[in-house]
Amino acid sequence: MRTKILEILRSAGDGYISGEEMASRLGVSRTAIWKHIRELRENGYDIVSHSRSGYSLREAPDRLLPNEIRHGLQTQCVGREIHFEEVLDSTNNVAKRLAAAGAADGTIVVAEQQTGGKGRLERRFFSPAGKGIWFSVILRPPFMPQEAPKCTLLAAVAVAKAMERFGLPAGIKWPNDLLYENRKLVGILTEMSAEMDRINHIVIGIGINVNILPQEFPAEIRKTATSLQAVNGGKPVPRVKFFQAVLEALDALYAEVATQGFALVLAAWRKYTITLRQEVRVIGVRDGEEYTGIAADIDEDGALLVDAADGRHRVLAGDVSIRPKK
């Protein structure tokens, strides 16, 4: 009902529309309209009223509410279904439960705050209320399980494209971070449920630091993290519009992959990356092995190819961390 009321208010532009007319259109009482208007105001919508003219929507909140995300969103699959909560432990945890219960391809889970957000290698991800975009998307792709790791690269390219659309410089660090001046802006965690010959579902969790001030980061990450607001010269970035840009880029890339494979995604990743042609240090997570070399390229599977003193190494996302050599 609130969605329909917002549609009517938006269709009136800067004008007013009476509660009686809205009640007539929607087949409810004027009291019901008033109650929904009150709830919309409680959610941050600036709706003014005039005793003779009715109601007018002056401003919508920059909150990641389903009604705001859907308004003007141009996607075919991603964001078709939206599960929203004010606070979650982890959007990935909820998305995995929804996926196991049969949630549709392209369903997103979004929260204003995460209390237990995590990234790759179980690292905590700072996810304060109202300051970022913390979400997960459920995909049910037609390709084979061995292709799944490239979905992390796909997600990174989608965020980079959204940043480019907003005039913000984007740099992808292999395999799953976006950085600005060597500080982390975005983290991505991809998880999968699969059988030998098919994917049941993939859940991609994406955390984007949007309007977090430098002093708001915890002391332990203050020197290594940043936000889109900082990249934007201190000017806040509209979260809903940026989120829509990310979802639209994800949707387009996902459709492209389904019909043409990952070649174009990998080419776009190479365009945005800051890892290739850099000297890097590879640290083995399982065996502790360390070596340095030049990040030469990624292969068709998305693995990083590093030229070290003893030859070329093929580095898999789940096995190592990549750090600039000091």
CATH (domain of 202)? 3.30.930.10
Residue 152 CA to residue 161 CA, distance in Å, equals 14
Q: Where among 23, 38, 59 does a domain terminate?
A: 59
Q: What is the pLDDT of residues 6-60, one digit of tens each?
A: 889 888 888 899 988 889 999 999 899 989 999 999 888 899 988 888 999 988 8
42 & 72 share domain: no
91 annotated as belonging to a binding site for a ligand = yes
255 & 286 share domain: no
46 & 13 share domain: yes
77 & 214 share domain: yes
pLDDT of residue 323: 64
205 & 257 share domain: yes
| Ranges 109-123, 280-294, 304-318, most confident | 304-318
184 annotated as belonging to a binding site for a ligand = yes
3 & 47 share domain: yes
Task: For residue 16, give the CATH number of its domain.
Answer: 1.10.10.10
Q: Residue 115 carries which DSSP code?
A: S
Q: Give percent helix, percent strand, percent coil of the chain, each to the nearest 5.
A: 35, 30, 35
Q: What is the pLDDT of residues 207-246, one digit of tens each?
A: 999 999 999 999 999 999 999 999 999 999 999 999 999 9
113 annotated as belonging to a binding site for a ligand = no
Residue 241 CA to residue 259 CA, distance in Å, equals 28
pTM score of the predicted model:
0.88
13 & 155 share domain: no
268 & 292 share domain: no
pLDDT of 120 higher than 60: no
Q: Where among 239, 256, 272 does a domain terminate?
A: 272
User: pLDDT averaged over the chain?
Assistant: 90
pLDDT of residue 285: 58
133 & 231 share domain: yes
Domain holding 288, by residue range, is 278-322
The structure tokens listed for 139 are 């995909």
pLDDT of 84 higher than 80: yes
Q: Please name the residues in contact with 132: beta carbons below 8 A apart, sequence gap of 6 or more.
A: 207, 208, 209, 210, 211, 212, 227, 239
pLDDT of residue 286: 57
Are the C-beta atoms of 298 and 156 separated by less than 8 Å? no
211 annotated as belonging to a binding site for a ligand = no
Are the C-beta atoms of 88 and 115 separated by less than 8 Å? yes
13 & 88 share domain: no
User: 108 - beta bridge partners?
Assistant: 82, 137
115 & 167 share domain: yes
What average pLDDT score do residues 142-162 get? 94
Burial class (CB in 10 A: 0-12, 13-18, 19+), 313: middle
High-pLDDT (> 70) share of the chain, %: 93
Helical (H) or strand (E) element with 240: helix 239-260
Q: What is the pLDDT of residues 165-203, one digit of tens each?
A: 999 998 999 988 999 988 999 999 999 999 988 999 999
pLDDT of 287 higher than 80: no
189 & 302 share domain: no
Provide the domain count of the chain. Answer: 3
Burial class (CB in 10 A: 0-12, 13-18, 19+), 326: exposed
Cα torsion 207, 213, 215, 221 to 10°: value is: 20
92 annotated as belonging to a binding site for a ligand = yes
pLDDT of 307 higher than 90: yes
Burial class (CB in 10 A: 0-12, 13-18, 19+), 304: buried
